[in-house]
Amino acid sequence: MEKFRTSRLGLLLLLADVLLVPFGLFLATILRSNVALGMGGALGFENAQVPWPVYILAVISWVGALMMNGVYDPRRVLRWYTECAKVTFASVIATFFMGGALYFSYRETSRLQIIYFLVINIALLLGVRLMLRFYYELIGRSRPGTQIKVLVLGAGKLGQKVGEVIFAHARWGFHLVGYLDDDPLKKDKAFEGAMVLGGIDDVNGIIKEHGVEEVWIALPVRADKRLNEIIMKLEAQPVRIYIAPDYLSLALVQARADIVGGIPIIGLREPVIMGFDRFFKRAFDLVISLAVIILLLPFILLIMILIWIDSPGPIIFRQQRVGENGRLFNMIKFRTMVKNAEALQPVVNIENAGGEVIHKRKADPRVTRIGRFLRHYSLDELPQLFNVIKGDMSLVGPRPEMPWLVDRYKSWQRKRFSVPQGITGWWQINGRSDKPMHLNTDDDLYYVYNYSLWLDIRILLRTPLAVIGGRGAF
């Protein structure tokens, strides 16, 4: 009974999908009969009919793909865009599987009809999920008798974070009863609408009084001895116990728990962009980079000639930079400074009142005449398109920084390396203040925590305006 109650929304979605999939195929059949694209007109309804085994195959394909992709798991579809991505990806997989099965069975089924089915089904599945989200957002959280009552031990930063997660999962049946914490200053305070009900020693009484079914322990690492005492107290109680380890603050961006050989481990340095998102970002980078290089090739050759005429030295400048996950690589750009300019770097460096290094300034004596023009309009960055093609960089992301500056980073600043470093980014399109990029980490972290392919496209579309303005580029 407990397991059923915990996954009630998952079962509701599963039932809805079982009904929606054949309905979507039926609609695709009607559409195929009346909108036969590329076939010279309609073929007639009778010609587009599919036998009943195909409906069964469709349900098995779609529901199976959705289940394997974790669409019914509340922990994996908390955010709406994650749920949309998983439903869409599972639908594409189901379509390929169904198409392969039809090839060996009912080959007369129209391929166009299957494409119609894919589009209609994605719309139906996402539409129902969107309506359910709105429903639970409006009235679903307060319905009596449907919640799994959760008590959180610890009301510090970690405990409050756990409370936020429970509150966000409310539509899946979770209800936050309250917190217990030994800090007297937190007594009777409220977090996420739930009160601190007392000290941790009161746990047994609170469990009985409120009918608590799950206890989530969110205590700091230093409370390991206290943790043992709490677990012993809870052994006799009819509750499920979960521990939220206080290692998440050490994670660079996100942490993921795994089981390896029966041993639980927590990854503190997980990549932010993985799987399908990573594939699309890489494909997007390659297509756009190759197109821009071909389009601007005459202009690139002209810049190379001007650099060669302007001052002695190599046309291309190579410099070691820090990439994703701290990996070092050689970033290339057009040379904009005199030969051996790096040897003069200590002369240019200054330290501000906060102890932060300012390693570039407007009146830099090392910059050449053509170099100043190239820097103003960021044209010196064009060769980095080849870094993108090689895979060292992405079109969009935080700018790769020099190793000696990264060595001075604080822990929170290193989170910017959790994604591929880019030619342009959120910082560049938001005015590019006169501060160097390593002092604009807040903008970089906004990108890290809000990454999407659409955000990449927005940044690329706004980059030309920022480049033309030239503010902060020197």
User: What is residue 28's predicted lDDT score, i.e. its pLDDT?
Assistant: 85
User: What is residue 342's predicted lDDT score, i.e. its pLDDT?
Assistant: 65
Q: Is the pLDDT of residue 285 over 70?
A: yes
Dist CA 283 CA 289 (whole Å) = 10
Q: Are 178 and 152 in contact (CB under 8 A)?
A: yes
Helix extents (H) in 377-440: 384-390, 403-406, 426-429
Dist CA 6 CA 90 (whole Å) = 23
User: What is residue 3's predicted lDDT score, i.e. its pLDDT?
Assistant: 40
Residue 38: pLDDT band by 50, 70, 90 thresholds?
very low
Name the CATH superfamily housing domain 143-246: NAD(P)-binding Rossmann-like Domain (3.40.50.720)
Dist CA 81 CA 455 (whole Å) = 13
User: What is residue 164's predicted lDDT score, i.e. its pLDDT?
Assistant: 83
Backbone angles phi, psi at 318, to 5 degrees: -115, 135
User: What is residue 236's predicted lDDT score, i.e. its pLDDT?
Assistant: 75
Dist CA 146 CA 273 (whole Å) = 35
The token pair that represents 66 in the structure block: 């959705």
* Domain boundaries of the chain, sorted by first residue: 2-138, 143-246, 275-469
Dist CA 189 CA 196 (whole Å) = 6
Least confident of 33-37, 127-131, 293-297, 466-470: 33-37
Q: Are 65 and 84 in contact (CB under 8 A)?
A: no
User: What is residue 188's predicted lDDT score, i.e. its pLDDT?
Assistant: 82
Backbone angles phi, psi at 191, to 5 degrees: -130, 125
Strands (E), 342-421: 350-351, 357-358, 394-396
Q: Are 140 and 134 in contact (CB under 8 A)?
A: no
For residues 378-391, give the mean pLDDT. 94
Q: What is the pLDDT of residues 168-197, one digit of tens each?
A: 666 666 788 999 998 888 888 888 778 999
Q: Is the pLDDT of residue 42 over 50?
A: no
Q: Is the pLDDT of residue 223 over 80?
A: no
> Rounded mean pLDDT of the chain?
79
* Highest mean pLDDT: which range of 38-42, 65-69, 302-306: 302-306
Dist CA 69 CA 62 (whole Å) = 11
| CA separation, residue 291 to residues 101, 286, 401, 421 (Å) | 38, 8, 26, 20
User: What is residue 41's predicted lDDT score, i.e. its pLDDT?
Assistant: 45
